[in-house]
Structure 1
Amino acid sequence: MQQYISQLNEAQQEPVLQKDGPMIIIAGAGSGKTRVLTVRIAYLMSLGVDAFSILALTFTNKAAREMKKRIGDIVGAAEAKNLWMGTFHSVFARILRSEADKLGFPSNFTIYDTQDSVRLISAIIKEMQLDKDVYKPKQILGRISSYKNSLITVKAYFNNPELQEADAMSKKPRLGEIYQNYVERCFKSGAMDFDDLLLKTNELLNRFPDVLANYQERFRYILVDEYQDTNHSQYLI
């Protein structure tokens, strides 16, 4: 382990060697932040921290795979594979699959990609006999996505006159109905879209304190790569 630490400069070694307590690393592109994160996780494991109690959130799945491989090179692949490491979406999908029944979803729920979502919204717009030149499916999905990432559920939307007025001003007074139909249809199909992976994780942790306590107890070390790019929903989790 020491040989990997000695390859880091003094500023990089400092966060690697701080075992406990909060910290934030601010450094420019190409200055070795990911390397610091990798060596820090390996160092924690070398001190006897269980891999199952480390949660590492990365910006891409590719970054997660590369980091896991590098950590495996230091501490052994068998140990590294027990790490909870991946993007916000992939890690939260894993949590939701374990807890889906609490939210009324099957554990093998489908995850809709953008194409699936656009297709469903197009069908809803057609069924509601709305003008697809005004209610453009991709734009509608973008709007619904921004609601979900701000934790605005259908119920919250209909309790917010300002949002409804803004949609009416942009000549889309029935956007709330589309949102409601979309959410209901996804639920009936046992499906979540990418934004639901964040929204439903927030719902799960807020509605079920015992589930929250379980994951708080499990993850003793939480490391977030590219923390400055988290949205409101990710930040709250």
Structure 2
Amino acid sequence: MSAGFSIESLNKAQREAVLALKGPVLILAGAGTGKTRTVTCRMSALLENGVKAENVLAVTFTNKSAAEMAERVIGMVGGKRGEALTVCTFHSLCLRILKRNIESLGYKKKFAVMAGGDQTGMIRQLIVRKGGRKINLKPGEVMSAISKAKNSELPLSGIEDDLIAEIAVAYQNELRAQNAVDFDDLLLLGERVLREYPKVREYWQDKFQYITVDEFQDTNNLQMNLLQQLVGESNNICVVGDDDQS
């Protein structure tokens, strides 16, 4: 084994998880139980057993967690192999997918991701346009309703508040006119292009033959659907969760 990776440093349950390299694996562990070390050791074990680093994907919920996980694996297996791993958030993963395949959905290849002040400004303008200057509606309320609908895979026109629904539809039309997407669209469109286009799905399934998902208890239905599209017939997926937080 490479420096930094020692199977002897793990307890019996951790060793079993690390050495279960094929098929679906579920790791349930609470905080402070060595969960992160088990996951990174398992990823290192994949590489030690001949799996190519470019075929390994680990998905987390924050950029900080992704960076920490990548750093640990690199420390175990060395920079060259470790840096070839894909360790990222769900949104970063979908951004990568869309950069290659968004044209299949009718967008131009070079699309923009609308966020921050640009997104807030667009919503604010639409509030005034649709509701007038005296309307007491904050951009954050509209953005929250849009995000909730998108993550629930519900149509924006179905938002309960009629004015917010009208603004939301206009917002989405404006994004499309600008060849832009927002963060929630990254997940929606990433899942959609995998689901609707078999050749796209096959490409990414072939690329990511071993998938690890951290903090699995926090995944929503949209993220679950995305994972189902990514996992091929081999079903080589390892999910890590804390059942106390589920």
**Alpha-carbon distance between aligned partners in 1 of 2:135 and 2:35, rounded to the nearest angstrom:** 46
User: Where do 5+ consecutive residues of structure 1 fail to align?
Assistant: 158-162
2:4 aligned with 1:15: no
Amino acid at match of 2:183: F
Q: Is the 8 A contact 1:124 1:181 kept in 2?
A: yes
Distance of aligned partners of 1:150 and 1:144 in 2 relative to their CA distance in 1, 3 Å threshold: same
1:115 CA displacement: 3.4
2:191 aligned with 1:202: yes
Matching residue of 2:73: 71
Matching residue of 1:41: 43
**Alpha-carbon distance between aligned partners in 1 of 2:127 and 2:210, rounded to the nearest angstrom:** 45
1:179-226 CA-partner distances (Å, limit 9, x unpaired): 111111111222211111111112111221221122122221110000
Q: Higher relative contact order at CA 8 Å, sep ≥6: structure 1 or structure 2?
A: 2
Question: RMSD between aligned alpha carbons?
Answer: 1.8
Q: Is the 8 A contact 1:110 1:190 kept in 2?
A: yes
User: Where do 5+ consecutive residues of structure 2 fail to align?
Assistant: 227-246
Distance of aligned partners of 1:133 and 1:10 in 2 relative to their CA distance in 1, 3 Å threshold: farther
Distance of aligned partners of 1:195 and 1:124 in 2 relative to their CA distance in 1, 3 Å threshold: same
Matching residue of 1:160: none
Q: Secondary structure at the match of 1:82?
A: coil
**Alpha-carbon distance between aligned partners in 1 of 2:196 and 2:179, rounded to the nearest angstrom:** 20
Range 26-35 or range 125-134, more displaced = 125-134
**Alpha-carbon distance between aligned partners in 2 of 1:175 and 1:62, rounded to the nearest angstrom:** 33
**Alpha-carbon distance between aligned partners in 2 of 1:205 and 1:152, rounded to the nearest angstrom:** 19
Alignment of 1:1-237 (within 5 A): 1=1, 4-130=6-132, 133-154=135-156, 157=157, 163=158, 167=160, 172-237=161-226
Q: Is the 8 A contact 1:125 1:132 kept in 2?
A: no
- TM-score (norm: length of structure 2): 0.85
1:34 CA displacement: 1.1
Q: Secondary structure at the match of 2:32?
A: coil
1:132 CA displacement: 6.0
Range 109-118 or range 66-75, more displaced = 109-118
1:94-124 CA-partner distances (Å, limit 9, x unpaired): 1111112112333332222243322211111
Amino acid at match of 1:61: N
Amino acid at match of 1:105: Y
- TM-score (norm: length of structure 1): 0.88
Q: Is the 8 A contact 2:130 2:163 kept in 1?
A: no
Q: Secondary structure at the match of 1:174?
A: helix
Amino acid at match of 1:22: P
